[in-house]
Structure 1
Amino acid sequence: MNNKPSINYLLLIIIPMVFSCYEPVKEDNKKNLPASSPALHVKNKKYMLIDTKASFLTWQGASLNGLINTQTGYIYISNGELMVENGQVKSGTIEVGMNTIEDKNHGSDNKLVNHLKDPDFFDTKRFPFSTIVITGVALVNGEDRKVTGDLTIKGITHAVTFPAKIKVKNGMVTANAQLVIDRTKWDVRYKSAKFYNNLANQTMSDSIKFYIHIIAKKQTPDLR
């Protein structure tokens, strides 16, 4: 396992979009997923199940010390469904297992990753899941969409809007999205200039990016 950069140079920004450059989800990682919440079971025949082995998020973090230094890593989807109607995604739920956080080398048990799981950041013992509930998907152009929804992290929910490219073809949904948030709205305050004075070059950006890659597959024969 490689040595990790100081946590002072991390800014959690849970993000990509050159998803073809990322490695597939490791089977070992799936063992780290806690039991998911039961709220995602839906009987609607137009729902498509998210493939948790092929879907994932990347995160990017940055510190602000005159220059922006970034770190990246992975986090995995534990459960989810998308509702498709007339060949278009209309709504859905994405559930993320917060205890699956990894660094860029897929390290999952080191100083950096364990700090991200602590109360300073995501407090994953108390809040093992984060969710995105998609409430609307508006056509922009071609495969480009504007997605609206509710993001819950650490038990705190705020509305979000973000761009995505979504394709529905042959009973499968492929979606790539970029979500940027102000982490302090979800009580992730570690080394934020909004709450701490005299941080100097240890100040961390309040922005968090999530690059989301989703594959969802047909569940019922009558889905178009």
Structure 2
Amino acid sequence: MTKIGKILGLLLVTGIIASCGGPQGEKAATGEAQDVTVKSGDVTLPVDLAASNVEWVGTKPTGQHNGTVNISAGEVMLKDGEIVGGKFTIDLNSIVVLDLTDQEMNAKLLGHLKSADFFEVETYPTAVFEIASVAAVSGNPEASHNITGNLTMKNITKSVTFPAMVNVSDNGVTATTPAFIIDRTEWNVQYGSKKLFDNLKDNFIHDEMSLKINLKAEI
């Protein structure tokens, strides 16, 4: 085998390993729901719904799918120029699949994601994230703060902590996260989970899914 052939072979194997290894990102810390003690701030800003969303990636051994979901309502509370609280609602009926250009395949996956196998949107049309605490951090080029809040999905509430780059200015607030990972089965999204079903062989879907939040709130 030529040197170039060996390099291409190595890249191919590396790509296969990467595709089988689940979504990219740092695993978020999850736990029991936290008390939300801050109920108001000096300023409360409405979330700019047109400029805010959640990006998602789901993976399986043979590949991945990605898309977005809209934020349908929300607010951010500030005190002394810092985020101290807030809450936003995720409209699960707005799930979009971006990687499938074939309309029939796209619609099939979208219907499956909205079904009881996954997010059971007819029964649970929204998810809600409420901020419990915000802490400044240093040494992370992708984040200025760690945000801890309660994510309620399919009537299950758990705390999630993830990094975010937060910018507060005279015009409002922007907060964007690097990709972070949650385990969907903690919110009873069980379809294709290898740890819950032992007969799937290679036909499983990784429990971990990647999320990236883009949030903007203006004065």
Q: Under a length normalisation based on structure 2, what TM-score does the superposition of the two structures give? A: 0.75
**1:51 matched to 2:48:** yes
Could you list the runs of 5+ residues in structure 2 that have no partner in the other structure? 1-18, 26-38
d(CA) in 2 for partners of 1:49 and 1:207? 31
Alpha-carbon separation, structure 1, partners of 2:64 and 2:144: 27
Shift of 1:147: 0.5
Deviates more, 1:167-176 or 1:104-113: 104-113
Measured in 1, the distance between the counterparts of 2:162 and 2:54 equals 15
Q: CA deviation at 1:43?
A: 8.1
**Larger of the two Rg values belongs to structure:** 2
- 2:57 is the alignment partner of 1:60: yes
- Structure 1 residue 179, shift from structure 2 partner: 3.9
Which residue does the alignment assign to 1:166? 166
Q: Report SS of the residue matched to 1:201.
A: coil
Q: Which aligned runs of 4 or more in structure 1 are off by greater than 6 angstroms?
A: 106-109
For 2:208 and 2:188, locate their aligned partners in 1 and report how far apart those are by CA, in whole Å: 13
Note the alpha carbon deviations across 1:105-161, whole angstroms, 9 max, x for none. Answer: 598970000100000000000001101101100000386101101001111100111
Give unpaired runs (5+ residues) of structure 1: 1-8, 16-41, 219-224
Residue of structure 2 in register with 1:176 after alignment? 176
Instruction: Tell me, in whole angstroms, the C-alpha distance in 2 between the residues paired with 1:184 and 1:100.
Output: 21
User: TM-score scaled by structure 1?
Assistant: 0.73
Alpha-carbon spacing, 1:125–1:205, altered in 2? closer, same or farther (3 Å): same
Aligned partner of 2:70 in structure 1 is 76
**What SS is found at the alignment partner of 1:115?**
helix
- Alpha-carbon distance in structure 1 between the residues aligned to 2:129 and 2:174: 17
What SS is found at the alignment partner of 1:146? strand
1:98 maps to 2:120 = no
Aligned partner of 1:135 in structure 2 is: 132
Alignment-mate amino acid for residue 206 of structure 1: D
**Residue deviations 1:5-48, cap 9 Å, x none?**
xxxx9xx97x9xxxxxxxxxxxxxxxxxxxxxxxxxx9866111
Query: Which letter does structure 2 place at the counterpart of 1:81?
Result: E
Counterpart contact for 2:93–2:125, Cα < 8 Å: yes
Residue 148 of structure 1 pairs with residue 148 of structure 2:
yes
Which has the higher mean CA deviation after the structures are superposed, 189-198 or 130-139? Answer: 189-198
RMSD: 2.5
- The count of corresponding residues between Structure 1 and Structure 2 is 178
